[in-house]
Amino acid sequence: MQTVTTIGFDIAKSVFQVHGVDAAGQVVVRRQLKRRQVMAFFEKLPPCLVGIEACASSHYWSRQLQALGHGVRLMPPAYVRPYVKRQKNDRADAEAICEAVTRANMRFVPTKTPEQQSGLMLHRARHLFIRQQTSVINAIRAHLAEFGITAPVGRRGVIVATQTDINRLGGNATGVTIPPRTPPILLSRRTVRGRL
């Protein structure tokens, strides 16, 4: 068997695809690997160039393969797509990755350390929480508007509106009566202040 010099490694959740070529560009290996087989497969290979699309878990696999002595290069999927010759499937993707990684003008993504990934994860989680908070605030503003209570934009606007207008609803200062079936969350100042 010829020596594998370049591998296109298409990663997934459970089934991975490997496409390897020798120095002349002839296909040496083309096979599927289950997750538990990946490290054993690469341990048997001499150090070679491995191309991976930069996507979920690619930085993890890059670090694992670099620890075995392989040279790993991550590429944005948009830059690999033009090299797919046939319909899009894992086998064609692995072949396209193998071809793209050898191009001199290809742009590569540096492998992130676990610390860098942890920082990015923290930022993404915070961004998600902010989006969810904004969604809840907008929903409360819309529900209050159904009863004629207008709240300024933002978290503070909803808190001020619930503290002033809802308190006065008992005396009907705004001319609005709240039906008994109204969800209690809309009437609770503590909920608005504590959750938003």
Hey, where are the domains in the chain? Answer: 6-112, 115-195
What number of other Cβ atoms are within 10 A of residue 163's Cβ? 12
- Give the per-residue pLDDT at 189: 47
Contact (CB, 8 A) for 18 and 8: yes
* Per-residue pLDDT tens digits for 163-180: 665 555 544 445 555 555
| Direct distance between the N- and C-terminal alpha carbons of the chain, in angstroms, rounded to an integer | 64
**Burial track 63-82 (b if 16+ CB lie within 10 A, e otherwise):** eebeeeebebbbbeeebbee
* Per-residue pLDDT tens digits for 104-157: 899 999 999 999 999 999 999 999 999 999 998 888 888 888 877 778 888 888
Q: How many whole angstroms separate alpha carbon 121 and alpha carbon 117?
A: 6
What is the value of pTM for the model shown?
Answer: 0.72
For residue 34, which amino acid is it?
K
* pLDDT band of 76, cuts 50, 70, 90: very high
Q: How many whole angstroms separate alpha carbon 83 and alpha carbon 186?
A: 55
In CATH terms, the superfamily for domain 6-112 is YqgF/RNase H-like domain (3.30.420.140)
**Closest CA relative to residue 164, chosen from 133, 186, 189, 193:** 189
* Per-residue pLDDT tens digits for 20-33: 999 998 999 999 99
